[in-house]
Amino acid sequence: MRKIAVQINGRVVEGEVEPRLLLGDFIRDNAGLTGTHFGCEHGVCGACTVQLDGEPVRSCLMFAVQAHGRRIATVEGMAPSATELHPLQQAFHESHALQCGFCTPGILMTMEAFLRAEPDPSPERIRAALAGNLCRCTGYQNIVTGVRLAADRMK
Amino acid sequence: MKPAPFDYDDPRSVDEAIGLLARYGDECKVLAGGQSLVPLMNFRLARPGRLVDINGIESLGQVKVENGRLLLGAMVRHAQVERSNDIAARWPLLHDAIVWVGHSQIRNRGTVGGSVAHADPAAELPCALAALDAKFHVLSRRGPRVLRWDQIFVSEFTTSLAPDELLTAIEVPPQDPSTGVAFVEFARRHGDFALGGAAVSITLARNGTCSDVAVALLSAGPRPVRAEEAERRLKGGQVDEAAIKQASAAAVQGLHPTSDLHGSREYRVKLLQVMTERALTKAVHLATRRAA
Ligand SMILES: Cc1cc2nc3c(=O)[nH]c(=O)nc-3n(C[C@H](O)[C@H](O)[C@H](O)COP(=O)(O)OP(=O)(O)OC[C@H]3O[C@@H](n4cnc5c(N)ncnc54)[C@H](O)[C@@H]3O)c2cc1C
Ligand code: FES
Ligand code: FES
């Protein structure tokens, strides 16, 4: 067992964990943040994507011990207040960019970082950036629309 | 919890890491980006008794240029290579290859050393490194070794690294600035492992004849394949459409890519020929512009 302290959405979460505990399980079980979803648990679906020091990574392919002393962002940290959504979340809501919502947290974590790097992306660039996230409901069309709408508003 | 239990070390220096590898050998595995090892552990296809996590060894994460040679530390992430303007300008084949590796989230964690040590025949980086005649620096308590690509890559998912050895760096020779390069591949969706692909690096003399060329094939066999017969035919001659067609046909002579549900052997051979043709055409186009 190892003692770790991970900063998640600005809050330090401590725990004593086995080395084999996946980061995603630490986020869900120890930090109680269940917005991060596990789909495939081998890196393919993207549902578990969180940000490690600002960069999107798979939380099913990292051990919690590896996040000791690092900064993690999850979907729960996006909205500025309890009554207000992040512009990306708001645009997804308005564009019908989610149905069941299982894939959405991973997509938001990926797209937030993508828009920071490319604030004015073409639909083709948005599609390419979405390649690492699977969605079984929407057919992606409205996700692309939602990301573009958010980009317009965040300018 | 998905993976089987294991002991865990996170050494801070290369010396400490090779000490652990010498002590535990077969029992342990190096953990780099985890993008290939952790999926295997989650499925319990791999059950290492101990992990030596090298993410905390800063010296392994450096990109250096020494005497015109590129030195990539084993822990350099794919995303680091992708974002480096210097690499894009001076070793464009590396840049062109790395953007095909998985997705951005994978490239943020995956490492160049991990891609080499994992030795997937469908992995882009080993193929590009074969075309570039890269060298591989390996270290253990028994001493250092420097390996060529055809010495390190043995077969599918198999390298000549011993259990106590650590891959520390990849060395890429300088590229002639007039060289034209291309990396092309075909996969059902971007980010999937490629069914076939080709890496080409070609230099043209003033009179338009080929002074140097390397053609490496992806997913063409158990390890990267250098199309030596195609290279021989191209060297010294004019590289027109007919020469490219001939060389591409020669490149796939005698290849035995494995048939599977994604494509038969015949399909893959044909695909490799088309990929070689496209890569050569693109690289020659660039080389012609640069030579002018
Ligand atoms: C969804 C998905 C898609 C992917 N798509 C592609 C793709 O299209 N193309 C592609 O090439 N790859 C792809 N990958 C694999 C990815 O590139 C991996 O990052 C890479 O194969 C391994 O690098 P790593 O740093 O993650 O290594 P790890 O997973 O940490 O290690 C892999 C193996 O190498 C050994 N090892 C690692 N570093 C060293 C070292 N320095 N010395 C000795 N041994 C070492 C480990 O012990 C282990 O056996 C994909 C992965 C995922 C999850
Ligand atoms: S659960 Fe991590 S990528 Fe699918
Ligand atoms: S909204 Fe259901 S998986 Fe994407």
Contact call for residues B133 and B175 (beta carbons, < 8 A): no
In chain B, which residues fall in CATH 3.30.390.50?
A: 180-291
At residue B1, does pLDDT exceed 70? Answer: no
Q: Are residues A139 and A121 in the same domain?
A: yes
Strands (E), A9-100: 11-17, 49-52, 55-58, 71-73
- Which residues of chain A does B4 touch, with a Cβ-Cβ cutoff of 8 Å? 20
B3 → chain A, closest CA residue: A20
At residue B89, does pLDDT exceed 80? Answer: yes
Cα–Cα separations (whole angstroms), residue B149 to B56, B125, B224, B232:
27, 11, 9, 19
At residue B31, does pLDDT exceed 90? Answer: yes
User: Which of the listed residues A77, A111, A131 is the one where a domain comes to its end?
Assistant: A77
**So what's the pLDDT on residue B258?**
85
Average pLDDT over residues B113-120: 98
What burial letters (b/e) apply to B71-94, b meaning 16+ CB within 10 Å?
A: bbbbbbbbbbbbebeebeebbbbb
User: Which of the listed residues A77, A111, A137 is the one where a domain comes to its end?
Assistant: A77
Contact call for residues B186 and B269 (beta carbons, < 8 A): no
- Which residues of chain B does A18 touch, with a Cβ-Cβ cutoff of 8 Å? 1, 5
Residue B116: partners with Cβ closer than 8 Å, 6 or more residues away = B74, B125, B126, B129, B136, B152, B159, B167, B170
At residue B191, does pLDDT exceed 80? Answer: no
> For residue B37, what is the enclosing H or E element?
helix B37-42
At residue A26, does pLDDT exceed 90? Answer: yes
Q: Are residues A66 and A101 in the same domain?
A: no
**So what's the pLDDT on residue B262?**
85
pLDDT in tens, B34-86: 999 999 999 999 999 999 999 999 999 999 999 999 999 999 999 999 999 99
Q: Count of CB atoms within 10 A of residue B2's CB?
A: 17
Strands (E), A2-146: 2-8, 11-17, 49-52, 55-58, 71-73
In short, whether B34's Cβ falls inside 6 Å of ligand 1 is: yes
CA distance A79 to B259: 49
Q: Which atom of ligand 2 is nearest to the CA of A134?
A: 4
Q: What is the mean pLDDT of chain A?
A: 97
Q: Which domain holds residue A23?
A: 2-77
A56 → chain B, closest CA residue: B105
**So what's the pLDDT on residue B188?**
80
Average pLDDT over residues B114-140: 98
Q: Give strand pairing partners of A16.
A: A3
- Domain B180-291 in CATH: superfamily? CO dehydrogenase flavoprotein, C-terminal domain (3.30.390.50)
**So what's the pLDDT on residue B87?**
98
**For testing the chain A interface, which of B10, B53, B104 should be mutated: the one with the most A CBs within 10 Å?**
B104
Contact at CB, B108 and A114, closer than 8 angstroms: no
> How many Å is the maximal CA-CA distance in chain B?
64
DSSP 8-state assignment for residue A28: I
Residue B1 has its nearest CB partner, among A20, A49, A132, at A20
CA distance B90 to B74: 19
pTM of the predicted structure, to 2 decimals: 0.96
In short, whether B159's Cβ falls inside 6 Å of ligand 1 is: no
At residue A50, does pLDDT exceed 90? Answer: yes
Q: Is residue A82 part of a domain?
A: no
CA distance A148 to B54: 39
CA distance B120 to B292: 38
The percent of residues in chain A predicted with pLDDT above 90, rounded, is: 99
Residue B202 pLDDT grade (very low, low, confident, very high; cuts 50, 70, 90): very high
Looking up residue A106, the CATH number of its domain turns out to be 1.10.150.120
Cα–Cα separations (whole angstroms), residue B84 to A129, B87, B102, B287:
19, 5, 18, 22
Q: Looking at this predicted complex, what is its ipTM?
A: 0.96
Instruction: Look at domain B61-172 and name its CATH class.
Output: alpha beta
